[in-house]
């Protein structure tokens, strides 16, 4: 698997940091954000390959965040992390994947490999 630069946007600090640690263990460069404002700031300052975002962020939906960042960054791939399986039916875009919570290192690795 090639090294990707991944922005993890998750409102829960524990989930965010553990996800970042798992991605780093897989060899990726990771930036963290807890909300829309922080995510946009990171995306403006760095070249991001993948946005991994919780669907239910504290200030905006992850779907809205993905739309916002994709309008600014062509080719941005997105992984939505959620515990709600009804969202899976809304993923027709091949550059978008769904990661069901709770997820393991193996689940995370499989989804990132698939989108890379």
Q: For 23, how many CA atoms within 13 A lie in the half-sphere containing its CB? A: 24
Number of Cβ within a 10 Å radius of residue 111: 20
Domains annotated on the chain, with CATH: 5-115 (3.40.50.2300)
Model pLDDT, residue 84: 72
Strands (E) across the chain are located at 5-9, 29-33, 50-54, 77-82, 96-100
Token pair for 11 = 């409102």
- The pLDDT score that the predictor gives to residue 38 is 96
Q: Return averaged pLDDT per consecutive 10 residues of the chain, 116 residues in all.
A: 93 96 98 96 96 92 93 93 66 81 95 92
Cβ–Cβ < 8 Å for 46, 5 = yes
């Amino acid at each position: 698997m090639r090294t990707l630069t991944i922005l993890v946007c998750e409102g829960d600090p524990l989930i965010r940091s553990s996800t970042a640690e798992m991605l780093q263990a897989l060899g990726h460069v990771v930036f963290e954000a807890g909300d829309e404002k922080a995510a946009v700031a990171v995306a403006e300052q760095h070249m991001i390959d993948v946005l991994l975002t919780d669907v239910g962020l504290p200030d905006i939906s992850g779907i809205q965040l993905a739309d916002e960042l994709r309008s600014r960054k062509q080719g941005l791939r997105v992984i939505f992390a959620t515990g709600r399986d009804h969202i899976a039916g809304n993923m027709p875009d091949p550059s978008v994947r769904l990661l069901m919570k709770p997820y393991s290192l193996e689940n995370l690795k499989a989804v990132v490999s698939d989108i890379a």
